[in-house]
Structure 1
Amino acid sequence: MTETVTRHRTVHSAHPAYRASEQVAAHLQQLLVDLTDLHLTGKQAHWNVVGTNFRDLHLALDEVIDAARDFADDVAERMRAVYVVPDARSATVAHQTSLPQFPATEVDTADTVDLIVSALYGVAATARRIHDDVDAEDPTTADMLHAILESVEKFAWMIDAENRTANASAPAQVVV
């Protein structure tokens, strides 16, 4: 015997104080995609890095992966809070990412450093590019961008230092 349950729906009408515009929605979607790709790129690197200082880089990649995953979740949940539907399906991420593709082979630690730093700066570039538009419309969401930028740029600096030579390699120091 099958029972049919009929649910009577009433019209639900929420009156949020703020709803994201199409522009902010698109900006947050791009950041979500790039953060999701950073997480996946980090895992690919984590599994396939080999060479000098392997263990340290392997562990540093774990930190990047965890942060990227957490930030992606924060962005997606913020999107829902401002009435935007996030899309981080694999096909969407593959199609919309602005990050460079990581190799499908083993990668030397020095090359992995350069590739991961490039991906980190790619996420930072996206966050910086969208910041002013987001801030003009929703300073609360812009605060999330600040936290993401602070963390991602710190990871980039710390990991990039692995390949640098003191006082002899870029980035040049800013003198004030």
Structure 2
Amino acid sequence: MTPKKVLRWRDPAVVLGRTFVVSDVLHASAPTHVARPAFTASEQLAAHLQQMLVDLTDLHLQGKQAHWNVVGLNFRDLHLALDEVVDAAREFSDTVAERMRAIYVTPDARAATVAEQTSLQPFPATEVNTAETVDLIGAALYAVAGTARRIHDEVDAEDPTTADILHTVLERLEQLAWMIDAENRVANKSQPRQLHR
């Protein structure tokens, strides 16, 4: 029995007495892309979603930085709660980026872009005690929720489907902000943090 020859991408192939190059056959049979999307985002919608993506990406990074460097009273509970923040931010950033692609916008969450465009305050590079971590991550959560609230009406006017994504993001981020922020509150003596707009 003779061994079968494995064709490489540029190897000539003989089919019915004619010689072809495999890649030429594949390219010749590929149709021209002619999709006509029903909706493409305006520059304003693209800019709003880019800001949302950047803020969610930074929240994910800050949440991980806090998770690794938090110390002090109630460390373990906060350490685990920060994973919830990280998971939500990562999932929502992916959802927003994929929505951007679906409406023909190119997302940019490279490190330099996030550092330049984020609306969040920087997180310390050192160990941070639990009470300060609660304040910093609570502020970051409310800041990202504030971005979603600020852009919502203009997004909704142009694309209600994308606005529905913002509703989901807001619901979860504000829930997480409440849970994190409550760590530093004293019953009936301290007021909840004002929403950042």
User: What TM bracket, shorter-length normalisation?
Assistant: over 0.9
Q: 2: CA distance between counterparts of 1:166 and 1:2? A: 70
Q: 2: CA distance between counterparts of 1:52 and 1:104? A: 20
Q: Which runs of 4+ in 1 moved over 6 A?
A: none
TM normalised by structure 2 equals 0.83
Question: Are the equivalent residues in 1 in contact too, given 2:58–2:114 (CA < 8 A)?
Answer: yes
- State the structure with bigger RCO (CA 8 A, min sep 6), 1 or 2: 1
TM normalised by structure 1 equals 0.93
Amino acid at match of 1:142: A
Question: Are the equivalent residues in 1 in contact too, given 2:181–2:192 (CA < 8 A)?
Answer: no
Following superposition, the deviation at residue 171 of structure 1 comes to: 2.1
Equivalence for 1:141: 162
Q: Percent sequence identity over matched residues?
A: 73
Match of 1:33 among 32, 47, 54: 54
Q: 1: CA distance between counterparts of 2:45 and 2:134? A: 32
1:61 aligned onto 2:89: no
Equivalence for 1:47: 68
What 5-or-longer segments of structure 2 have no aligned partner?
A: 1-7, 11-20
Following superposition, the deviation at residue 10 of structure 1 comes to: 5.0
Aligned residue pairs: how many?
172
Amino acid at match of 1:36: T
Following superposition, the deviation at residue 17 of structure 1 comes to: 1.3
What 5-or-longer segments of structure 1 have no aligned partner?
A: none
Equivalence for 1:82: 103
1:156 aligned onto 2:177: yes
Which of these two proteins has the greater Rg computed from alpha carbons? Answer: 2
Match of 2:141 among 116, 120, 126: 120
RMSD of equivalent CA atoms: 1.5
